[in-house]
A and B are shown apart, each in its own frame.
Chain A
Amino acid sequence: MNEKTMYELRKIGFYTFIFIIVVWMGIPLIVSTLYAFGLPDEYYNPHRIIPFHFTLKTVKMLLFTLGGWDALKNSVIVATLAIIISFILGLPAGYSIARFIFPGKDTIKLGMLALKIFPVPIMAVPLVMLYIRLHLIDTRLGVALAHSAGALPLVVLITASIFAGTSAELEEAGMVFGLTRFQSFLKITLPLALPGLAAAAMFTFVGSWNEVFAASVLTFSHRTLPALMLTLMQTAPDYYKFAAAFIMAFPAMIYVAVARKYLISMWGIALK
Protein backbone atom coordinates (compact mmCIF):
# COMPACT_ATOMS: atom_id res chain seq x y z
CA MET A 1 0.00 0.00 0.00
CA ASN A 2 1.44 3.39 -0.87
CA GLU A 3 1.62 6.54 1.22
CA LYS A 4 -1.32 8.22 -0.42
CA THR A 5 -3.83 5.42 0.16
CA MET A 6 -2.65 5.04 3.74
CA TYR A 7 -3.23 8.73 4.25
CA GLU A 8 -6.70 8.55 2.69
CA LEU A 9 -7.62 5.52 4.75
CA ARG A 10 -6.52 7.20 7.94
CA LYS A 11 -8.57 10.25 7.04
CA ILE A 12 -11.67 8.14 6.43
CA GLY A 13 -11.06 6.35 9.73
CA PHE A 14 -10.76 9.63 11.56
CA TYR A 15 -13.97 11.05 10.14
CA THR A 16 -15.82 7.81 10.89
CA PHE A 17 -14.69 8.16 14.47
CA ILE A 18 -15.86 11.77 14.63
CA PHE A 19 -19.16 10.73 13.07
CA ILE A 20 -19.64 8.10 15.77
CA ILE A 21 -18.97 10.68 18.47
CA VAL A 22 -21.47 13.08 16.93
CA VAL A 23 -24.16 10.40 16.66
CA TRP A 24 -23.50 9.03 20.12
CA MET A 25 -23.66 12.46 21.73
CA GLY A 26 -26.34 13.97 19.52
CA ILE A 27 -29.00 11.29 18.99
CA PRO A 28 -30.16 11.05 22.63
CA LEU A 29 -30.53 14.84 22.79
CA ILE A 30 -32.56 14.96 19.60
CA VAL A 31 -34.70 11.91 20.33
CA SER A 32 -35.59 12.94 23.86
CA THR A 33 -36.52 16.43 22.65
CA LEU A 34 -38.77 14.98 19.94
CA TYR A 35 -40.34 12.57 22.41
CA ALA A 36 -40.96 15.42 24.86
CA PHE A 37 -43.26 17.04 22.31
CA GLY A 38 -44.58 13.90 20.63
CA LEU A 39 -48.11 12.60 21.20
CA PRO A 40 -48.10 9.93 23.94
CA ASP A 41 -50.03 7.57 21.62
CA GLU A 42 -47.27 7.74 19.09
CA TYR A 43 -44.67 6.98 21.73
CA TYR A 44 -46.43 3.73 22.57
CA ASN A 45 -46.98 2.87 18.90
CA PRO A 46 -44.13 0.44 18.08
CA HIS A 47 -44.11 1.50 14.42
CA ARG A 48 -43.58 5.18 15.05
CA ILE A 49 -39.86 5.43 15.71
CA ILE A 50 -40.03 9.21 15.60
CA PRO A 51 -43.31 11.04 16.37
CA PHE A 52 -45.07 12.80 13.48
CA HIS A 53 -47.49 14.86 15.53
CA PHE A 54 -46.48 17.22 18.24
CA THR A 55 -48.14 18.68 21.29
CA LEU A 56 -47.27 21.05 24.11
CA LYS A 57 -49.64 19.29 26.46
CA THR A 58 -47.12 17.17 28.32
CA VAL A 59 -44.69 20.01 28.95
CA LYS A 60 -47.53 22.32 30.00
CA MET A 61 -48.96 19.68 32.32
CA LEU A 62 -45.60 19.17 33.94
CA LEU A 63 -45.03 22.87 34.35
CA PHE A 64 -48.43 24.12 35.46
CA THR A 65 -50.19 21.19 37.07
CA LEU A 66 -47.40 19.17 38.57
CA GLY A 67 -45.45 22.10 40.00
CA GLY A 68 -42.66 22.29 37.44
CA TRP A 69 -43.01 26.02 36.99
CA ASP A 70 -42.67 26.74 40.71
CA ALA A 71 -39.70 24.38 40.91
CA LEU A 72 -38.13 26.14 37.96
CA LYS A 73 -38.60 29.46 39.71
CA ASN A 74 -37.09 27.98 42.85
CA SER A 75 -34.12 26.76 40.85
CA VAL A 76 -33.53 30.20 39.37
CA ILE A 77 -33.86 31.87 42.76
CA VAL A 78 -31.55 29.39 44.46
CA ALA A 79 -28.93 29.62 41.72
CA THR A 80 -29.07 33.42 41.71
CA LEU A 81 -28.74 33.53 45.49
CA ALA A 82 -25.83 31.11 45.25
CA ILE A 83 -24.05 33.41 42.81
CA ILE A 84 -24.67 36.44 44.99
CA ILE A 85 -23.53 34.76 48.21
CA SER A 86 -20.48 33.06 46.75
CA PHE A 87 -19.39 36.22 44.96
CA ILE A 88 -19.85 38.50 47.97
CA LEU A 89 -17.68 36.14 49.96
CA GLY A 90 -15.38 34.91 47.20
CA LEU A 91 -14.49 38.11 45.37
CA PRO A 92 -12.67 39.82 48.26
CA ALA A 93 -10.85 36.58 49.04
CA GLY A 94 -9.83 36.11 45.42
CA TYR A 95 -8.68 39.72 45.22
CA SER A 96 -6.68 39.36 48.40
CA ILE A 97 -4.93 36.23 47.15
CA ALA A 98 -4.18 37.84 43.80
CA ARG A 99 -2.88 41.18 45.04
CA PHE A 100 -1.26 40.72 48.44
CA ILE A 101 1.59 38.75 49.90
CA PHE A 102 0.81 37.52 53.39
CA PRO A 103 1.82 34.61 55.60
CA GLY A 104 -0.53 31.66 55.26
CA LYS A 105 -1.58 32.54 51.73
CA ASP A 106 -0.30 29.31 50.24
CA THR A 107 -2.03 27.28 52.93
CA ILE A 108 -5.30 29.05 52.17
CA LYS A 109 -4.90 28.43 48.46
CA LEU A 110 -4.16 24.78 49.07
CA GLY A 111 -7.11 24.52 51.44
CA MET A 112 -9.40 25.97 48.76
CA LEU A 113 -8.08 23.42 46.33
CA ALA A 114 -8.74 20.61 48.77
CA LEU A 115 -12.26 21.86 49.44
CA LYS A 116 -12.94 22.21 45.75
CA ILE A 117 -12.61 18.47 45.40
CA PHE A 118 -14.52 17.73 48.58
CA PRO A 119 -18.06 16.44 47.89
CA VAL A 120 -19.89 19.28 49.60
CA PRO A 121 -23.47 18.09 48.84
CA ILE A 122 -22.71 15.04 50.97
CA MET A 123 -22.45 17.41 53.93
CA ALA A 124 -26.11 18.20 53.45
CA VAL A 125 -27.22 15.27 55.62
CA PRO A 126 -25.81 16.65 58.89
CA LEU A 127 -26.86 20.13 57.76
CA VAL A 128 -30.48 18.99 58.02
CA MET A 129 -30.25 19.04 61.83
CA LEU A 130 -28.73 22.51 61.87
CA TYR A 131 -31.32 23.79 59.43
CA ILE A 132 -34.20 22.45 61.51
CA ARG A 133 -32.88 24.39 64.48
CA LEU A 134 -32.33 27.56 62.44
CA HIS A 135 -35.65 27.22 60.59
CA LEU A 136 -33.76 27.07 57.33
CA ILE A 137 -35.07 23.66 56.42
CA ASP A 138 -37.21 23.62 53.28
CA THR A 139 -36.22 27.17 52.34
CA ARG A 140 -34.65 28.38 49.14
CA LEU A 141 -32.11 30.33 51.14
CA GLY A 142 -31.07 27.13 52.90
CA VAL A 143 -30.37 25.35 49.64
CA ALA A 144 -28.61 28.42 48.24
CA LEU A 145 -26.37 28.55 51.32
CA ALA A 146 -25.33 24.94 50.79
CA HIS A 147 -24.77 25.47 47.07
CA SER A 148 -22.69 28.56 47.82
CA ALA A 149 -20.42 26.49 50.02
CA GLY A 150 -19.92 24.12 47.11
CA ALA A 151 -19.17 26.91 44.67
CA LEU A 152 -17.14 29.16 46.95
CA PRO A 153 -13.68 27.52 46.67
CA LEU A 154 -13.92 27.55 42.90
CA VAL A 155 -15.09 31.17 42.86
CA VAL A 156 -12.13 32.18 45.06
CA LEU A 157 -9.60 30.39 42.86
CA ILE A 158 -11.10 31.59 39.59
CA THR A 159 -11.45 35.20 40.69
CA ALA A 160 -7.90 35.09 42.08
CA SER A 161 -6.53 34.02 38.73
CA ILE A 162 -8.68 36.56 36.90
CA PHE A 163 -7.50 39.39 39.14
CA ALA A 164 -3.93 38.21 38.87
CA GLY A 165 -4.40 38.51 35.13
CA THR A 166 -5.54 42.14 35.29
CA SER A 167 -2.63 44.47 35.76
CA ALA A 168 -2.07 45.78 39.26
CA GLU A 169 -0.33 48.73 37.64
CA LEU A 170 -3.55 49.96 36.07
CA GLU A 171 -5.16 49.92 39.49
CA GLU A 172 -2.16 51.68 41.01
CA ALA A 173 -2.33 54.29 38.27
CA GLY A 174 -5.89 54.98 39.41
CA MET A 175 -4.65 55.36 42.96
CA VAL A 176 -1.90 57.75 41.87
CA PHE A 177 -4.55 59.94 40.26
CA GLY A 178 -6.51 60.27 43.46
CA LEU A 179 -8.75 57.23 43.90
CA THR A 180 -8.77 55.06 47.00
CA ARG A 181 -7.88 51.41 46.48
CA PHE A 182 -11.54 50.46 46.71
CA GLN A 183 -12.63 53.09 44.19
CA SER A 184 -9.78 52.08 41.94
CA PHE A 185 -10.89 48.46 42.18
CA LEU A 186 -14.48 49.38 41.31
CA LYS A 187 -13.64 51.71 38.45
CA ILE A 188 -10.66 49.98 36.87
CA THR A 189 -10.08 46.36 37.86
CA LEU A 190 -13.68 45.21 38.07
CA PRO A 191 -14.68 46.29 34.54
CA LEU A 192 -11.55 44.59 33.18
CA ALA A 193 -12.30 41.38 35.03
CA LEU A 194 -15.97 41.38 34.11
CA PRO A 195 -15.98 38.85 31.23
CA GLY A 196 -14.09 36.30 33.31
CA LEU A 197 -16.31 36.92 36.30
CA ALA A 198 -19.39 36.49 34.15
CA ALA A 199 -18.15 33.09 33.10
CA ALA A 200 -17.45 32.15 36.72
CA ALA A 201 -20.98 33.24 37.61
CA MET A 202 -22.45 31.09 34.86
CA PHE A 203 -20.43 28.23 36.19
CA THR A 204 -21.88 28.69 39.65
CA PHE A 205 -25.33 28.96 38.16
CA VAL A 206 -25.04 25.71 36.25
CA GLY A 207 -23.59 23.93 39.27
CA SER A 208 -26.54 24.98 41.42
CA TRP A 209 -29.09 24.39 38.67
CA ASN A 210 -27.97 20.79 38.37
CA GLU A 211 -27.27 19.89 41.99
CA VAL A 212 -29.79 17.40 43.24
CA PHE A 213 -28.60 15.70 46.42
CA ALA A 214 -28.49 18.66 48.80
CA ALA A 215 -31.57 20.18 47.19
CA SER A 216 -33.51 16.95 47.74
CA VAL A 217 -32.37 16.42 51.30
CA LEU A 218 -32.81 20.00 52.49
CA THR A 219 -36.30 20.65 51.06
CA PHE A 220 -39.63 18.87 50.78
CA SER A 221 -42.09 21.43 49.45
CA HIS A 222 -39.86 24.19 48.04
CA ARG A 223 -38.08 21.86 45.65
CA THR A 224 -35.73 22.92 42.94
CA LEU A 225 -36.32 21.52 39.49
CA PRO A 226 -34.00 18.48 39.70
CA ALA A 227 -35.21 17.67 43.21
CA LEU A 228 -38.83 17.79 42.10
CA MET A 229 -38.17 15.70 39.04
CA LEU A 230 -36.30 13.15 41.11
CA THR A 231 -39.44 12.43 43.13
CA LEU A 232 -41.96 12.88 40.31
CA MET A 233 -40.20 10.70 37.80
CA GLN A 234 -40.32 7.52 39.80
CA THR A 235 -44.05 7.21 39.18
CA ALA A 236 -44.59 9.39 36.11
CA PRO A 237 -45.49 7.87 32.71
CA ASP A 238 -42.58 7.74 30.29
CA TYR A 239 -43.51 10.76 28.18
CA TYR A 240 -43.37 12.98 31.26
CA LYS A 241 -39.79 11.90 31.72
CA PHE A 242 -38.83 13.26 28.33
CA ALA A 243 -40.68 16.49 28.97
CA ALA A 244 -38.85 16.77 32.29
CA ALA A 245 -35.53 16.12 30.57
CA PHE A 246 -36.28 18.84 28.08
CA ILE A 247 -37.24 21.42 30.72
CA MET A 248 -34.05 20.72 32.63
CA ALA A 249 -31.74 20.50 29.63
CA PHE A 250 -33.01 23.44 27.61
CA PRO A 251 -31.34 26.23 29.62
CA ALA A 252 -28.16 24.20 29.75
CA MET A 253 -28.03 23.87 26.00
CA ILE A 254 -28.58 27.58 25.55
CA TYR A 255 -25.72 28.12 27.94
CA VAL A 256 -23.41 25.88 25.93
CA ALA A 257 -24.31 27.67 22.75
CA VAL A 258 -23.53 31.04 24.32
CA ALA A 259 -20.49 30.20 26.37
CA ARG A 260 -18.83 27.31 24.56
CA LYS A 261 -15.59 29.16 24.02
CA TYR A 262 -15.39 30.07 27.68
CA LEU A 263 -16.15 26.62 29.01
CA ILE A 264 -12.87 25.00 28.11
CA SER A 265 -10.63 27.92 28.95
CA MET A 266 -12.47 28.36 32.24
CA TRP A 267 -11.50 24.87 33.23
CA GLY A 268 -7.98 25.63 32.15
CA ILE A 269 -7.96 28.55 34.58
CA ALA A 270 -9.77 26.75 37.33
CA LEU A 271 -7.44 23.82 37.42
CA LYS A 272 -4.06 25.49 37.17
Chain B
Amino acid sequence: MAKKVSKYVPYLLVAPALIYLGIFIGYPMIEGIKLVFYENGGFSLATVHRAINNYYFWPALRNTLSLVVIIVPTQLILALIFALAMNKVFKGRNIALTLLIIPMTLSDIAAGLIWYSILSPSGFMNKLLINLGLIHTPIQLFGYQFHTREFIMLVFVELWRSTVTIFVIVLAGLQMISQEYIEAAEVFGAGYWTRLRRIIIPLLKPSIQTALLLRTIYAFSIFGIVWVLVGRDIPVLAGEAYYQVTQIKDYGVGAFYALLIAIMSLTIGIIYLRLTKAEYLEVRR
Protein backbone atom coordinates (compact mmCIF):
# COMPACT_ATOMS: atom_id res chain seq x y z
CA MET B 1 0.00 0.00 0.00
CA ALA B 2 0.86 3.65 0.06
CA LYS B 3 4.02 4.61 1.78
CA LYS B 4 5.60 7.72 3.24
CA VAL B 5 8.47 8.95 1.13
CA SER B 6 10.19 12.30 1.09
CA LYS B 7 7.51 14.88 1.79
CA TYR B 8 7.85 16.63 -1.54
CA VAL B 9 8.00 13.72 -3.97
CA PRO B 10 4.23 13.23 -4.35
CA TYR B 11 3.73 16.94 -4.95
CA LEU B 12 6.60 17.12 -7.43
CA LEU B 13 5.00 14.34 -9.40
CA VAL B 14 1.57 15.98 -9.44
CA ALA B 15 2.78 19.54 -9.94
CA PRO B 16 3.50 19.50 -13.70
CA ALA B 17 -0.01 18.28 -14.50
CA LEU B 18 -1.60 20.83 -12.20
CA ILE B 19 0.46 23.72 -13.57
CA TYR B 20 -0.33 22.68 -17.10
CA LEU B 21 -4.06 22.56 -16.40
CA GLY B 22 -3.77 25.91 -14.68
CA ILE B 23 -2.24 27.42 -17.80
CA PHE B 24 -4.68 25.90 -20.23
CA ILE B 25 -7.86 26.24 -18.22
CA GLY B 26 -7.20 28.85 -15.56
CA TYR B 27 -5.45 31.30 -17.83
CA PRO B 28 -8.00 31.22 -20.67
CA MET B 29 -10.73 31.61 -18.10
CA ILE B 30 -9.17 34.85 -16.86
CA GLU B 31 -8.26 35.92 -20.36
CA GLY B 32 -11.80 35.21 -21.48
CA ILE B 33 -13.27 37.31 -18.70
CA LYS B 34 -10.87 40.09 -19.66
CA LEU B 35 -11.84 39.85 -23.33
CA VAL B 36 -15.47 40.21 -22.40
CA PHE B 37 -15.41 42.89 -19.74
CA TYR B 38 -12.29 44.86 -20.51
CA GLU B 39 -12.06 47.47 -23.19
CA ASN B 40 -9.67 50.39 -23.69
CA GLY B 41 -8.07 49.80 -20.30
CA GLY B 42 -11.26 49.74 -18.24
CA PHE B 43 -14.34 47.81 -17.30
CA SER B 44 -16.91 47.88 -20.05
CA LEU B 45 -20.14 46.11 -20.93
CA ALA B 46 -19.83 47.02 -24.60
CA THR B 47 -18.87 43.50 -25.62
CA VAL B 48 -21.70 41.99 -23.60
CA HIS B 49 -24.12 44.37 -25.28
CA ARG B 50 -22.75 43.49 -28.69
CA ALA B 51 -23.02 39.78 -27.92
CA ILE B 52 -26.53 39.90 -26.51
CA ASN B 53 -27.88 42.22 -29.16
CA ASN B 54 -26.55 40.00 -31.90
CA TYR B 55 -29.45 38.84 -34.04
CA TYR B 56 -28.42 35.22 -33.57
CA PHE B 57 -27.79 35.25 -29.82
CA TRP B 58 -31.23 34.55 -28.39
CA PRO B 59 -32.15 31.96 -30.99
CA ALA B 60 -28.77 30.32 -30.36
CA LEU B 61 -29.34 30.22 -26.60
CA ARG B 62 -32.90 28.96 -27.05
CA ASN B 63 -31.86 26.28 -29.56
CA THR B 64 -28.97 25.11 -27.41
CA LEU B 65 -31.20 24.79 -24.36
CA SER B 66 -34.04 23.07 -26.23
CA LEU B 67 -31.64 20.62 -27.82
CA VAL B 68 -30.24 19.78 -24.37
CA VAL B 69 -33.68 19.46 -22.81
CA ILE B 70 -35.03 17.23 -25.57
CA ILE B 71 -31.96 15.15 -26.31
CA VAL B 72 -30.53 14.31 -22.90
CA PRO B 73 -33.61 12.80 -21.21
CA THR B 74 -34.50 10.86 -24.36
CA GLN B 75 -30.98 9.52 -24.47
CA LEU B 76 -31.14 8.47 -20.86
CA ILE B 77 -34.24 6.37 -21.48
CA LEU B 78 -32.85 4.90 -24.71
CA ALA B 79 -29.51 4.16 -23.10
CA LEU B 80 -31.19 2.42 -20.17
CA ILE B 81 -33.23 0.23 -22.49
CA PHE B 82 -30.19 -0.58 -24.63
CA ALA B 83 -28.05 -1.33 -21.60
CA LEU B 84 -30.69 -3.62 -20.08
CA ALA B 85 -31.00 -5.45 -23.39
CA MET B 86 -27.24 -5.72 -23.91
CA ASN B 87 -26.73 -7.00 -20.39
CA LYS B 88 -28.45 -10.22 -21.47
CA VAL B 89 -26.73 -13.07 -23.22
CA PHE B 90 -28.13 -13.67 -26.68
CA LYS B 91 -27.10 -14.60 -30.19
CA GLY B 92 -25.76 -11.61 -32.12
CA ARG B 93 -24.99 -9.63 -28.97
CA ASN B 94 -21.46 -8.85 -30.12
CA ILE B 95 -22.63 -7.39 -33.43
CA ALA B 96 -25.28 -5.24 -31.78
CA LEU B 97 -22.84 -4.09 -29.11
CA THR B 98 -20.15 -3.19 -31.64
CA LEU B 99 -22.59 -1.21 -33.73
CA LEU B 100 -23.89 0.59 -30.68
CA ILE B 101 -20.47 1.77 -29.59
CA ILE B 102 -19.07 2.73 -33.00
CA PRO B 103 -20.37 6.32 -32.71
CA MET B 104 -18.31 6.72 -29.55
CA THR B 105 -15.23 6.86 -31.77
CA LEU B 106 -16.77 9.02 -34.50
CA SER B 107 -16.47 12.78 -34.59
CA ASP B 108 -19.72 14.67 -34.64
CA ILE B 109 -18.79 15.91 -38.10
CA ALA B 110 -18.38 12.40 -39.42
CA ALA B 111 -21.68 11.38 -37.84
CA GLY B 112 -23.44 14.31 -39.46
CA LEU B 113 -22.01 13.53 -42.86
CA ILE B 114 -22.82 9.84 -42.51
CA TRP B 115 -26.46 10.67 -41.86
CA TYR B 116 -26.49 13.11 -44.75
CA SER B 117 -26.17 10.07 -47.03
CA ILE B 118 -29.51 8.86 -45.69
CA LEU B 119 -31.34 12.17 -45.38
CA SER B 120 -30.21 14.31 -48.32
CA PRO B 121 -32.68 14.97 -51.18
CA SER B 122 -30.90 12.34 -53.28
CA GLY B 123 -30.17 10.24 -50.21
CA PHE B 124 -30.97 6.67 -49.35
CA MET B 125 -34.26 7.34 -47.59
CA ASN B 126 -35.77 9.44 -50.36
CA LYS B 127 -34.67 7.10 -53.13
CA LEU B 128 -35.93 4.09 -51.21
CA LEU B 129 -39.35 5.65 -50.59
CA ILE B 130 -39.67 6.82 -54.20
CA ASN B 131 -38.79 3.39 -55.54
CA LEU B 132 -41.25 1.75 -53.19
CA GLY B 133 -43.83 4.14 -54.62
CA LEU B 134 -44.60 5.68 -51.26
CA ILE B 135 -43.70 9.21 -52.30
CA HIS B 136 -43.28 10.95 -55.65
CA THR B 137 -41.00 13.84 -54.87
CA PRO B 138 -38.13 13.76 -52.37
CA ILE B 139 -38.88 14.87 -48.81
CA GLN B 140 -36.91 18.05 -48.21
CA LEU B 141 -35.20 18.15 -44.83
CA PHE B 142 -32.66 20.86 -45.49
CA GLY B 143 -33.03 24.60 -45.96
CA TYR B 144 -33.92 27.39 -43.56
CA GLN B 145 -37.60 27.28 -44.57
CA PHE B 146 -37.75 23.78 -43.06
CA HIS B 147 -36.67 24.93 -39.65
CA THR B 148 -38.68 22.39 -37.66
CA ARG B 149 -37.63 19.49 -39.86
CA GLU B 150 -34.01 20.49 -39.49
CA PHE B 151 -34.41 20.64 -35.72
CA ILE B 152 -36.05 17.21 -35.51
CA MET B 153 -33.36 15.81 -37.77
CA LEU B 154 -30.63 17.21 -35.52
CA VAL B 155 -32.26 15.59 -32.49
CA PHE B 156 -32.47 12.30 -34.35
CA VAL B 157 -28.86 12.31 -35.50
CA GLU B 158 -27.64 13.36 -32.06
CA LEU B 159 -29.56 10.46 -30.56
CA TRP B 160 -27.79 8.14 -32.97
CA ARG B 161 -24.39 9.65 -32.31
CA SER B 162 -24.14 10.33 -28.61
CA THR B 163 -26.57 8.05 -26.77
CA VAL B 164 -23.58 5.74 -26.58
CA THR B 165 -21.92 7.95 -23.94
CA ILE B 166 -24.70 7.24 -21.47
CA PHE B 167 -25.07 3.69 -22.71
CA VAL B 168 -21.51 2.58 -21.97
CA ILE B 169 -21.51 4.16 -18.52
CA VAL B 170 -24.85 2.62 -17.59
CA LEU B 171 -23.84 -0.73 -19.03
CA ALA B 172 -20.59 -0.68 -17.06
CA GLY B 173 -22.63 0.17 -13.96
CA LEU B 174 -25.11 -2.58 -14.69
CA GLN B 175 -22.34 -5.12 -14.99
CA MET B 176 -21.03 -4.12 -11.59
CA ILE B 177 -24.34 -4.88 -9.87
CA SER B 178 -24.12 -8.25 -8.17
CA GLN B 179 -26.52 -10.70 -9.78
CA GLU B 180 -27.56 -11.88 -6.31
CA TYR B 181 -29.20 -8.52 -5.54
CA ILE B 182 -31.51 -8.99 -8.49
CA GLU B 183 -32.11 -12.67 -7.85
CA ALA B 184 -32.94 -11.93 -4.23
CA ALA B 185 -35.67 -9.56 -5.35
CA GLU B 186 -36.92 -12.19 -7.76
CA VAL B 187 -37.07 -14.83 -5.04
CA PHE B 188 -38.96 -12.49 -2.73
CA GLY B 189 -41.68 -12.08 -5.29
CA ALA B 190 -40.71 -9.05 -7.36
CA GLY B 191 -41.66 -9.13 -11.03
CA TYR B 192 -39.52 -7.52 -13.74
CA TRP B 193 -40.85 -3.99 -13.27
CA THR B 194 -40.54 -4.07 -9.51
CA ARG B 195 -36.98 -5.32 -9.81
CA LEU B 196 -36.18 -2.59 -12.29
CA ARG B 197 -37.81 0.18 -10.28
CA ARG B 198 -36.89 -0.86 -6.75
CA ILE B 199 -33.51 -2.56 -7.18
CA ILE B 200 -31.75 -2.03 -10.50
CA ILE B 201 -32.35 1.68 -11.09
CA PRO B 202 -31.58 2.74 -7.49
CA LEU B 203 -28.35 0.73 -7.64
CA LEU B 204 -27.52 2.34 -10.99
CA LYS B 205 -28.02 5.80 -9.61
CA PRO B 206 -24.31 6.70 -9.33
CA SER B 207 -23.67 5.61 -12.93
CA ILE B 208 -26.74 7.42 -14.23
CA GLN B 209 -25.65 10.52 -12.36
CA THR B 210 -22.19 10.54 -13.92
CA ALA B 211 -23.51 9.78 -17.38
CA LEU B 212 -26.14 12.49 -17.25
CA LEU B 213 -23.65 15.03 -16.01
CA LEU B 214 -21.14 14.27 -18.74
CA ARG B 215 -23.73 14.17 -21.50
CA THR B 216 -25.48 17.35 -20.44
CA ILE B 217 -22.23 19.25 -20.40
CA TYR B 218 -21.18 17.94 -23.79
CA ALA B 219 -24.64 18.76 -25.11
CA PHE B 220 -24.21 22.40 -24.12
CA SER B 221 -21.24 22.65 -26.48
CA ILE B 222 -23.07 21.00 -29.40
CA PHE B 223 -21.50 22.38 -32.55
CA GLY B 224 -19.96 20.26 -35.29
CA ILE B 225 -23.02 18.23 -36.13
CA VAL B 226 -25.18 21.35 -36.36
CA TRP B 227 -22.64 23.21 -38.41
CA VAL B 228 -22.10 20.46 -40.92
CA LEU B 229 -25.78 19.57 -41.38
CA VAL B 230 -27.68 22.84 -41.18
CA GLY B 231 -25.08 25.59 -40.77
CA ARG B 232 -26.56 28.68 -39.16
CA ASP B 233 -30.14 27.77 -40.03
CA ILE B 234 -30.32 26.59 -36.48
CA PRO B 235 -27.81 28.73 -34.57
CA VAL B 236 -26.30 27.27 -31.40
CA LEU B 237 -24.01 28.95 -28.87
CA ALA B 238 -20.81 27.09 -29.70
CA GLY B 239 -21.49 27.61 -33.39
CA GLU B 240 -21.89 31.33 -32.87
CA ALA B 241 -18.64 31.41 -30.87
CA TYR B 242 -16.91 29.67 -33.75
CA TYR B 243 -18.48 32.05 -36.27
CA GLN B 244 -17.52 35.16 -34.33
CA VAL B 245 -13.91 34.04 -33.92
CA THR B 246 -13.25 32.66 -37.40
CA GLN B 247 -15.41 34.86 -39.63
CA ILE B 248 -16.02 38.15 -37.81
CA LYS B 249 -12.81 38.03 -35.75
CA ASP B 250 -14.73 39.48 -32.81
CA TYR B 251 -12.88 37.61 -30.07
CA GLY B 252 -14.73 39.37 -27.28
CA VAL B 253 -18.15 38.19 -28.41
CA GLY B 254 -16.77 34.71 -29.13
CA ALA B 255 -15.30 34.59 -25.65
CA PHE B 256 -18.59 35.69 -24.16
CA TYR B 257 -20.43 32.80 -25.79
CA ALA B 258 -17.71 30.39 -24.72
CA LEU B 259 -17.84 31.67 -21.15
CA LEU B 260 -21.59 31.39 -21.13
CA ILE B 261 -21.34 27.72 -22.10
CA ALA B 262 -18.71 27.13 -19.44
CA ILE B 263 -20.81 28.83 -16.77
CA MET B 264 -23.94 26.93 -17.75
CA SER B 265 -21.95 23.67 -17.64
CA LEU B 266 -20.61 24.40 -14.18
CA THR B 267 -24.03 25.42 -12.90
CA ILE B 268 -25.74 22.33 -14.20
CA GLY B 269 -22.91 20.24 -12.75
CA ILE B 270 -23.40 21.69 -9.31
CA ILE B 271 -27.18 21.32 -9.52
CA TYR B 272 -26.87 17.69 -10.56
CA LEU B 273 -24.53 16.83 -7.74
CA ARG B 274 -26.80 18.53 -5.23
CA LEU B 275 -29.99 16.93 -6.48
CA THR B 276 -28.89 13.39 -7.01
CA LYS B 277 -26.98 12.43 -3.91
CA ALA B 278 -27.19 8.73 -3.14
CA GLU B 279 -27.68 8.70 0.62
CA TYR B 280 -26.63 5.10 1.06
CA LEU B 281 -23.21 5.81 -0.41
CA GLU B 282 -22.57 8.66 2.01
CA VAL B 283 -23.05 6.80 5.31
CA ARG B 284 -20.04 5.72 7.27
CA ARG B 285 -19.89 3.05 9.87
Proximity bits, A201-214, B CB within 8 Å = 1, else 0 = 00000100111110
Smallest beta-carbon distance B39→chain A, Å:
14
Smallest beta-carbon distance B95→chain A, Å:
6
B262-A123 in contact (CB<8A): yes
Measured CB to CB, the nearest residue on chain B to A35 is B117
The CA of A47 and the CA of B128, in the complex, are separated in Å by 9
Proximity bits, B244-264, A CB within 8 Å = 1, else 0 = 011000010011011001100
* Sample (30) of A-B pairs whose CB atoms are under 8 Å apart: A18-B96, A21-B82, A28-B160, A31-B117, A31-B124, A32-B115, A32-B118, A46-B127, A46-B130, A46-B138, A89-B17, A92-B16, A102-B10, A121-B221, A123-B25, A123-B29, A126-B29, A128-B245, A128-B251, A152-B17, A211-B107, A212-B223, A217-B254, A230-B227, A248-B107, A248-B109, A248-B110, A255-B105, A264-B172, A267-B169
Whether a CB of chain A sits under 8 angstroms from the CB of B77 is no
Whether a CB of chain B sits under 8 angstroms from the CB of A68 is no
Whether a CB of chain A sits under 8 angstroms from the CB of B27 is yes
Interface of B is mostly: helix
Checking A27, A156, A233, A238 against B122 with a beta-carbon cut-off of 8 angstroms, the contacting residue is: A238
Smallest beta-carbon distance A48→chain B, Å:
7
A28-B115 in contact (CB<8A): yes
Contact residues on A (Cβ < 8 Å of other chain), bracket: 35 or more
Whether a CB of chain A sits under 8 angstroms from the CB of B133 is no
A271-B113 in contact (CB<8A): no
Stretch of A1-9, A53-61, A143-151, A188-196 on the interface side: A143-151
Checking B116, B173, B213 against A117 with a beta-carbon cut-off of 8 angstroms, the contacting residue is: B213
Whether a CB of chain B sits under 8 angstroms from the CB of A244 is yes
| Size of B's binding interface in residues, CB under 8 A | 97
A130-B27 in contact (CB<8A): yes
B169-A271 in contact (CB<8A): yes
Residue numbers of A with Cβ under 8 A of B are 14-15, 17-18, 21-22, 24-29, 31-32, 35, 43-44, 46-50, 88-90, 92-93, 95-97, 99-102, 105, 108, 114-115, 117-130, 145-146, 148-149, 152-153, 156, 168, 181, 206, 209-213, 216-217, 220, 226, 229-230, 233-234, 238, 241-242, 244-245, 248-249, 252-253, 255-257, 260, 263-265, 267-268, 271
Given known A-B contacts A28-B114, A99-B3, A118-B265, A264 and B28 have beta carbons under 8 A apart: no
Interface of A is mostly: helix
Q: Which of B212-248 contact A (CB under 8 A)?
A: 213-214, 217-218, 220-221, 223-224, 227-228, 231, 238, 241-242, 245-246
A92-B14 in contact (CB<8A): yes
Proximity bits, B120-140, A CB within 8 Å = 1, else 0 = 101010111011000000100
